[in-house]
Structure 1
Amino acid sequence: MTERPAIEVAVIMRRERIEGAMSRWQAWRWVLADVVTNEEGFGTTPRLLYKNENEERWLHPGYKVELFKDDAEGYHMNVTTDHPGWFVLWRMEEEAMVADEPLALPVMVSLSYYDAGRWLDAQETVEQLPAPEPVVAWVKAFVDEHHVVELKRRKRPESFRSLTDRFGNPASISTEKNFGGGGRG
């Protein structure tokens, strides 16, 4: 079995203070800050990188982003947009608390539009960030090798379809008018 092309990344989540009227209901919010190449020195567990009275940045290392041949269309859709990017699915983790609030934990990272679409359809929290040019070039090379453009077949207009009854048998239509319930006799 051949290995799939893959890269290891780390995700940086930012916890930021909310200002204004909205802060009456929620003092903080989490957003995706960055996706970076994973380094051995990052370790394997989330850790606080930076903190002040208005912001915190948390590093979440160890996410493997693999490219799958059967998802070449999803990668193609990403690299052919004006802003190709990372898609990160993240959730609030009730078990891991930060100052009496749950910690935002990335779950998956992808470069496929189809992955992001499935996650959004499942009503998950998904954010996108621009991918750096070397990553875009790597995905584009994969797409160039594995993406097959499917030819679209012209759909025949409905008016040309043959008529069938509810059992699939050919149906006929007559323009003659039938009067009454039976023949004249």
Structure 2
Amino acid sequence: MPVGVVVRRLPGVTRWQKWSWRAVALMPGAGPADWAVLRQEGEAVEYHAATLSLELHRTETEAYLIALSDKVPSVYVIMRPAPEREDSVPLELLLLTASAHEGLDYADSSEVIVEKVPMPPGLIAWIRDFVDMHHQEEIFYKRQRDRTRVDLEEDGIGDPRIRQLADVYRAPGRTKKDTLQ
């Protein structure tokens, strides 16, 4: 589904950052856009920054359920600072995901900006219908240990050229007299 991303520009709160940019809203079914001004109120400006495709996959329905069961169901918008261009576009929008797992994976990186944007009601219903259609509950099976005793043999410990069991970690060719000096 094509989803438009609304980005708000506000004046920065420090002298080192002139503007503060933040993804604030989603527009399901939006047409293509390239930083079109939607609303301007004083120094605050809202842009329809881009329209990205929101894809859902059958194997990630559990992650979609987590996102839907959040206090405020949200979509993760992944952005990065844009390379310097003549039209001074500040951010490059990379991806939209409804998967809570994928959003958190991107949040571990310092190279991208991850914004959690609330889903509109139509998008919530679309994702919920998809999950209802494709979700299969996985049964948890507790793994059983095998009863083999692995602590009885010491295969692979130390150097096989050293005969003393007490010195299995000593380097070959060195004696105790060499180590005491």
User: Normalised by the size of structure 1, how large is the TM-score?
Assistant: 0.70
1:154 match = 142
Unaligned runs of 5+ in 1: 1-6, 169-185
2:28–2:123: 8 Å Cα contact kept in structure 1?
no
1:117 match = 104
Cα 1:34–1:97, aligned 2, differ >3 Å: closer, same or farther? farther
Aligned identity (percent) is: 22
* Aligned partner letter, 1:121: D
1:129 match = 117
* Aligned partner letter, 2:102: D
SS of corresponding position for 2:104: helix
* Aligned partner letter, 1:133: P
2:50–2:93: 8 Å Cα contact kept in structure 1?
no
Please, which moves more after superposition, 102-111 or 46-55?
A: 46-55
How much does 1:151 deviate? 2.0
State whether structure 2 residue 94 is matched by structure 1 residue 107.
yes
RMSD of aligned Cα (Å): 2.6
Counterpart of 1:163 (choices 137, 145, 149) is: 149
**Which digits, 9 at most, give the CA deviation of each residue in 1:24-43, with x for residues without a partner?**
22222111121112434xx4
1:49 match = 38
SS of corresponding position for 1:163: coil
Counterpart of 1:12 (choices 1, 6, 9) is: 6
SS of corresponding position for 1:32: strand
* Aligned partner letter, 1:84: P
* Aligned partner letter, 2:104: G
State whether structure 2 residue 70 is matched by structure 1 residue 81.
yes
Matches of 2:46 and 2:29, distance apart in 1? 16
How much does 1:51 deviate? 4.0
Cα 1:96–1:49, aligned 2, differ >3 Å: closer, same or farther? farther
SS of corresponding position for 1:73: helix
1:12–1:34: 8 Å Cα contact kept in structure 2?
yes
Matches of 2:86 and 2:47, distance apart in 1? 13
SS of corresponding position for 2:105: helix
* Aligned partner letter, 1:11: V
Matches of 1:162 and 1:92, distance apart in 2? 55
Unaligned runs of 5+ in 2: 157-181
2:33–2:48: 8 Å Cα contact kept in structure 1?
no
Number of residue pairs the alignment of both structures matches: 153
User: Normalised by the size of structure 2, how large is the TM-score?
Assistant: 0.71
5 Å matches for 1:23-62? 23-40=14-31, 43-51=32-40, 53-62=42-51
